[in-house]
Structure 1
Amino acid sequence: MDELVVRHAGVEDRGRITELLLRSWGSTIVVAHGVRYDAADLPALLAERANRVAGLLTYASGVDGLEVVTLDAVERNAGVGTALLDAAAQVASGKGMGRVWLITTNDNVDALRFYQRRGMRIVGIEPGAVDESRRLKPSIPVVGHYGIEIHDEIILERRLPPG
């Protein structure tokens, strides 16, 4: 298998990023914790194997750390998500940030397992937050993975060593 390379995305990657977001999320618009993001406009890390996109992570930087807005592994169970999450932690450390954090929804049990196995901890739950987010993005489904109704946001973080 060819080597996996993770790199910062450039303007020349915008078309591929938009295509992947549309395929994975149905839109480039992502809503979390009351904020509406256009993920195609955010800084991004691309994972590539043999010049093909293997995964994408978009993020927002703030005073409270580096927020992972989207994470998509095109190649499943091949280390892509882990490599992207580790690269995001390196970006955060390089900016002097103390944590990488993200939000997932209560139905996304596969993501909860993935993130916790990579050192992230649940640090908060916002009951009804997804119901509120539907006001900003009505296309958010009511029922998600495994037939679970989607209502709540779960906040996870990975604390980074001082740097």
Structure 2
Amino acid sequence: MSEKSCPWFLEINKSQWYALFAGFMGWGLDAFDVMLYAFALTSIMKEWSINTAILGLLASLTLLSSAVGGIIWGIVADKIGRKKALMSTVLIFSICSGLSGLSQDIWQLAIARTLLGLGMGGEWATGALLVSESWPSKHRGKAIGIMQSGWAIGYFLAALVASYV
């Protein structure tokens, strides 16, 4: 008699679900910030009398620093562990996101967005590491797909919030 197989999601333990939730939320918060920033650009441009080229440069600085952050935090995660590295990157990202909103001029915003990028890139790397290493190999593809869907959810929620502001 053949043994009944259970649904795949019942094979995943609590700590594996927590790892996925942490990665999902990290990606979602990153997208939430990126999209809200995009919505705020028009107001920033008017308030500080800057042109679109400068705003594009700011966005590029954030993405460039996220590439550097991914490399740096990948190395750090190998030394201090995935969980500690992920928590650190989310903290950096969150603080710098808040500082972005409190910026009084273009230079403060540039510094905040650059540092934010370091945390964002680190979160992408460490979140993916944590999920891929904690989930069983036969379910990693699903887990990474779910984690990355946090980006779309974050974008959607930012658009929803922006529509009410």
TM-score range, shorter-chain basis? under 0.3
**More helix, by proportion:** 2
Larger radius of gyration: 2
TM-score where L is the length of structure 1: 0.23
TM-score where L is the length of structure 2: 0.23
**More strand, by proportion:** 1
Relative contact order: is structure 1 or structure 2 higher (C-alpha 8 Å, sep ≥ 6)? 2
